[in-house]
Amino acid sequence: LSSSMRWKRVLLKVSGKSLMSDHAQNVDPEIIGVIGREVASATRLGIEVAIMVGGGNFFQGSTWISSGVLDRASADHIGMMATVMNSIFLQASLENAGVETRIQTAYKITEIAEPYIRHRAIRHLEKGRVVIFGAGIGNPYFTTDTAAALRAAEINAEVVLKATNFDGIFDSDPKLNAEAIVHDHISYGDAAAKGSAIIDISAITLCQENSIPVVIFNLNGPGNISKALSGERIGTYIDQ
Ligand code: UDP
């Protein structure tokens, strides 16, 4: 793992919660602006960026399932629609930063987005456009982490970069242990064992099966997104 490593095509996963920060609204305009600008500069350097965005800032399915009002599939459909709202925010932010962007959704909402078409997504990337994937993979019982891993494999992304509010995967629970440190490099197996609160195990498994490394990093911090996109060492690097 050299510091000069440079990705050609990446899948950036942005979790919904990380868009919120401690802002009273669902999306922090400052964070969304930073993401737009940093992704824009990466594309200008020739890095092809596809984004899978979560929805946890608008809707937490788990809360509603336990309320007895919604069944899992219905809650998941609302969750997927939440990711479409975030997709529109990200698109606006990227276009403000001067980058052409296409949203592709896993189910059809053709007034605002293209349907997901693999070859078309790849073509957009080759032309320097950012592709934002909305609605995960369109199926309940999945998460946007797993959707990120799946789309990364489909579009031949070299890496999944997961932007979160955590610095990476810790060796012990940082809430319980003040000395906890972030692993800079661990195996898929150890990531599944220690990092399941930060990334879905099914996403890790899918990346492992397809030999796609994963980077878990904190998007809060000057230049962090740019560092991750350009292949600088940041957060936790997960591979064999
Ligand atoms: N979801 C789904 N299928 C998918 C992707 C997402 O059903 O392929 C639903 C699921 O309810 C999930 C929600 O959409 O909880 C929002 O995504 P996620 O929780 O992964 O977002 P994040 O935690 O990253 O904000």
Q: What is the pLDDT of residue 3?
A: 47
- The two tokens of residue 171 are 């060796």
CA–centroid distance, 146 to ligand 1, in Å, is 9
The pLDDT confidence band at residue 61, using thresholds 50, 70 and 90, is confident
Q: Report the percentage of the chain scoring pLDDT > 90.
A: 90
Sign of CA dihedral 6, 4, 31, 195: positive
* Cβ atoms of residues 90 and 51 within 8 Å: yes
Walk me through the domains of the chain, giving residue ranges and CATH numbers.
9-239 (3.40.1160.10)
- Closest residue CA from atom 14 of ligand 1: 79
- The two tokens of residue 53 are 């965005």
- Closest residue CA from atom 3 of ligand 1: 142
Q: What is the pLDDT of residue 22?
A: 82
Among 20, 104, 144, which is best to mutate for testing ligand 1, by the most ligand atoms less than 8 A from CB? 144
Residues 79 and 210: their CA atoms lie apart, in Å, by: 27
pLDDT tens, 132-151?
A: 999 999 999 999 999 999 99
pLDDT tens, 62-98?
A: 888 888 899 999 999 999 999 999 999 999 999 999 9
Write out residues with Cβ below 6 Å of ligand 1: 15-17, 54-56, 61, 75-76, 79-80, 82-83, 136-137, 139-140, 142-145, 147
- Closest residue CA from atom 10 of ligand 1: 76
Q: Which residues contact 211 (CB under 8 A, 6 or more apart)?
A: 239, 240
Is the pLDDT score of 5 beyond 80? no
The predicted model scores a pTM of 0.96
CA–centroid distance, 2 to ligand 1, in Å, is 33
